[in-house]
Amino acid sequence: MSDARDERRIPLPVLGGVSRRTALKGAGAALGLAAFGAAISPLAHFAENTSLDEFLQKHYKELNEEDKRAIFARLEAETKERYGADVRVRDPQPIPGVRFGYAINLSLCNGNGRCVEACHRENNHDRDANQSYIRVFEMPKGTTDLAHGNASYEHDVPQEGKYYLPVQCFQCENPPCVDVCPVEATWQEEDGIVVVDYNWCIGCRYCQAACPYHARRFNWKEPEIPAEEINPDQGYLSNRIRPAGVVEKCHFCLHRTREGRMPACLEACPTGARLFGNLLDPDSDIRWVLANKRCFVLKEELGARPTLFYFFD
């Protein structure tokens, strides 16, 4: 190309004496700025819904008692403001010498789904999504491959030739979901429960992809719950109302179980198929079951070592 051609200016009616190249550059830069602005616009939305305190909040493990009091008070105030419900956010700690185990008697489970509903209510799930940490699969006898299961059955239970397999977080001893979290927003506690700091989670959902059991859930939107249905007994790491855009999971109802009570799903089970206890107590019922029943876990070959066991009798 010749210099003369480069220097040629094409008169444009709007831009007057500006060269086409300059005009294109200007348009490109304006488009770039606009695209960038659009890309970061969720940040502005984020700022609307996030107080500075929340934005600056530290990781759960770095919080002292005073920090926690302020944070819990803030969460309670926010729940009051957004939902009109008086709740109590607490932070029960693991009991020394306790490692939780769960067992489900598949010979008794008839797939009635009361556990699913109890979890939904106990853990303040979004009413619209009907979300729950438990899925009950209707399985053809002879396989434990979840691909053959159907969790959306609506007919009477039990059906001939089927068994029912409730699946929730197994609180694995070697949890793959924890390894992949890029910000350490999820970890395993002393009593074996894998928890999530909902205020630290960035919502990348790597953990969801890593879990071989589809046990984690993503909170697609801010939960909608009528004030009178909100469970006021809340734990910071368990059933407090989660913000939108974070991952959540079963936590063995730690706000109940760390005070000696049973998980909500167990209390709701009308067939008595569920069994909960301390794996470190050799006299516990769960240890008797492990020693005397033929227990198994799902996808044992993956080496995640679940602490929720199934058995038939």
Partner 1 sequence: MRWKAGRGLIDLSTPAACGGPVPAALSMSDPIRRIMVVLLVGVLAAAGALLVSATPHAGTIDPAIIDTRAAAPIAPLASASRPDREAALAAARAAFDRSPASAPRIETNLVDDLGRAVTVSCASCHANLEPDANTNHAADLIDFHEGLEYEHGSLSCLSCHHAEDYNALRLTDGLAIDFASVQRLCAQCHAPQARDYERSAHGGMMGFWDARRGEAVRKSCIDCHDPHAPAMPAMVPTFRPHDRFLAAPSESEHGDDE
User: Using the rule CB under 8 A, is 40 a contact of partner 1?
Assistant: yes
User: Using the rule CB under 8 A, is 114 a contact of partner 1?
Assistant: yes
What phi, psi does 219 have (nearest 5°)?
A: -85, 95
> In the bound complex, what is the minimum distance in angstroms from residue 2's beta carbon to partner 1?
11
Q: Considering only residues 152 through 181, tell me which ones interact with partner 1, judged by CB under 8 A.
A: 152-158
Q: Which of these segments, 183-191, 242-250, 263-271, 296-304, binds partner 1 (CB under 8 A)?
A: 263-271
Q: Considering only residues 65 through 84, tell me which ones interact with partner 1, judged by CB under 8 A.
A: 69-70, 72-74, 76-77
User: Of 51, 184, 221, 227, which one interacts with partner 1 (CB under 8 A)?
Assistant: 51
Give the whole-angstrom CA distance, residue 66 versus residue 61: 13
> Residue 84 gets which letter from DSSP?
-
Q: Token pair of 186, please?
A: 């999820």
Q: Which is nearer to partner 1, 31 or 227 (CB)?
A: 31
Is residue 164 helix, strand or coil? strand
> In the bound complex, what is the minimum distance in angstroms from residue 64's beta carbon to partner 1?
13
> In the bound complex, what is the minimum distance in angstroms from residue 86's beta carbon to partner 1?
12
> In the bound complex, what is the minimum distance in angstroms from residue 90's beta carbon to partner 1?
6
> In the bound complex, what is the minimum distance in angstroms from residue 70's beta carbon to partner 1?
5
Is residue 76 helix, strand or coil? helix
Give the whole-angstrom CA distance, residue 174 versus residue 189: 12
User: Using the rule CB under 8 A, is 266 a contact of partner 1?
Assistant: yes
Q: Which of these segments, 188-196, 197-205, 243-251, 271-279, binds partner 1 (CB under 8 A)?
A: 271-279
Report yes or no: 265 and 103 within 8 Å, Cβ to Cβ.
Answer: no
Q: Within a 13 Å sphere around the CA of 312, how many CA atoms are in the beta-carbon half?
A: 6
User: Of 10, 12, 15, 47, which one interacts with partner 1 (CB under 8 A)?
Assistant: 47
Give the whole-angstrom CA distance, residue 283 versus residue 278: 9
Give the whole-angstrom CA distance, residue 65 versus residue 61: 11
User: Using the rule CB under 8 A, is 218 a contact of partner 1?
Assistant: no
Q: Residue 295: exposed, middle, or buried by beta-carbon count in 10 A (0-12, 13-18, 19+)?
A: middle
Give whole-number Cα distances, 32 to 15, 28, 121, 187, in Å: 20, 6, 47, 40
Q: Which is nearer to partner 1, 87 or 187 (CB)?
A: 87
User: Using the rule CB under 8 A, is 252 a contact of partner 1?
Assistant: no
